[in-house]
Structure formats: C-alpha cells, structure tokens
Amino acid sequence: MFRILSFVFILTLSASAFAGHIIVNNDDFPLSNTGFVNAGATNTTNFAQNAALYLTGVSSGAAIWLDSDNLSLAQSDLQGALSAYTLTDTGFSAFTLATLQNYRAVFLGGDNLTSAEQAALIAYINGGGGVYIAAGTGAIGNDTAAAEAAQWNAVINTFQLSLASVYNGFTGDIATNGSNPILNGVAQLYYNNGNSVSSTGPNGQIITTNQGQGLIGIYNPTAAVPEPSTMLLVAGALAGLGLYRRNRS
C-alpha cells in the first residue's frame, strides 16, 4: 500500500512540474531611473522588491541575474532596491540552461535571444526558475512591436501569457488596479509605450490593467489543475489501491 500511495504522490507532484514563476511587464520604463522618479521611489521600490520576492521565494540573499543592458534593468535605482539580494549585472550575455541555473531568478529586457536561448529559458522556468521580462523596449529584431512580441511569445506562450504585436501608447504614471501581492504598496508605476499583456489560460494572470489592456501579467503555476491524463493516472492508482485493500482483507 505504501508503494501505491508513493506512486500517487509522485504523480500529483508531476502535474505541477515544479514550474517557476514569470512576471511580464508591458514596458521597460517602470524599473528605470525615470520610472523611480516619476512614479515615486516608494512605489517603484516596493514593486521591484515584491517582484523579486515572487520570483525567488525569499526576501533577501538569493542570486538574481540582471541580464540586460536595457535602461530598465541596468540603472542604479533598481540596483539599490534589490541590494538585499546577490545581484549579478552583466549587461546582456548569451546564456544556456546551465548558466541560468546559477541563479534563482533572471531579469531580461531588450535582449535578442536565439532559439536555443528561448528553449533554455523555457527549461529554466519549468525547472523552477523565476523570470522577469520587460517588453516595450523597441530594441529587438527590427525594432518593431511585432518583432518584440514574437520573440517573447516564443517563450511565454508556453506559460499562458501573450504580448500584443502593437505598442499600446500608454505613457505616464498609471494607477495600479489589482490586489496581487506584487502590487502591495504600489499605488502607481510609470510607463512609456509598451506591448500589452494578455492571458491565454488559468495560470496566466493579469494583475493590473489600463483601459482594458493588461499592463503586467504573471505565470502562477500554483493555480494549475492536473491535466486529464494525469488525473486518469491518479484515478487508476487510487483504484489499484482499492483493489489492493480488498484483496488484503
């Protein structure tokens, strides 16, 4: 009986695949020095720290890689906000899965990824890694909204999130309107023309919007419901347990 119960437990764990978390921001400006000044240092610091906590699961100490030379991730105010963590800021560097696995979370924005790097990023998330993506940079492919969306969608579509292929034109301080913990203490953030975010499934969640369009989306694997195939396996295991118990009685 113990072996069957262990099998059921393993199957249940496999349904969640130990996936990590993702934050997709429609724009790169919220974490830039300009964003800190315009939206207020308290708002932006709280957002940065809440995001890091969501992605790493801890409030300090974890290794975070700021793998971007984009203004949103390579400036001083973000470094200060995340000073409780062990930060590595390299500008953009090519990566493999083995490289990513040195970090609890990685922040990306304005990076031109190869297909191999996209695959590595998917594997990293599936293995429990946390990823922050800043869209709306105008620095990917041929510098169009469509190219930027296409690159990131090759990764985030796997996790029930999607970026629009046109820029939304939202500029200025925009009030947050969600209750997700990532927004605790965050009254507003500053934006300057990004790719709106949408959800394509229950694990892809939009946590704040403007004019009906998603500004920030997250992938929350804890919202997962086991797929039918997994449920059938679990049901079969439980049925086997019932037969086992009857045969033993």
The beta-carbon contacts of 146-149 under 8 Å, at least 24 apart in sequence, are: 148/195, 149/195
Alpha carbon dihedral 122, 124, 161, 10, in 10-degree steps, equals 100
Q: What is the pLDDT of residue 196?
A: 98
Give the integer Cα–Cα distance in Å for 148 and 107: 16
Count other Cβ atoms within 10 Å, centred on residue 124: 24
Q: How far is 114 from 116, CA to CA, in rounded Å?
A: 5
pLDDT confidence of 230, banded at 50, 70, 90?
Answer: very low
The answer, yes or no, to whether residue 18 has pLDDT greater than 70, is no
Which residues are paired to 218 by β-bridges? 23, 205
Question: How many whole angstroms separate alpha carbon 85 and alpha carbon 102?
Answer: 14
Give tens-digit pLDDT for 130-187.
999 999 999 988 789 999 999 999 999 999 999 999 999 999 999 999 999 999 999 9
Q: Are the C-beta atoms of 185 and 207 separated by less than 8 Å?
A: no
Confidence (pTM): 0.84
Residue 77's SS3 state is helix
Q: What are phi and psi of 25, to 5 degrees?
A: -100, 135
Give all domains of the chain, ordered by start, each with its CATH number.
Answer: 1-18+228-249 (no CATH), 20-223 (3.40.50)
pLDDT of 226 above 60: no
Distance from first CA to last CA of the chain, Å, rounded?
A: 13
- Residue 102, classed as helix, strand or coil, is coil
Which stretches within the chain are classed as H helix? 2-16, 33-39, 41-56, 76-81, 97-100, 115-126, 145-156, 228-248
71-81 pLDDT, tens digit each: 889 999 999 99
Residue 83 phi/psi, 5° resolution? -65, -15
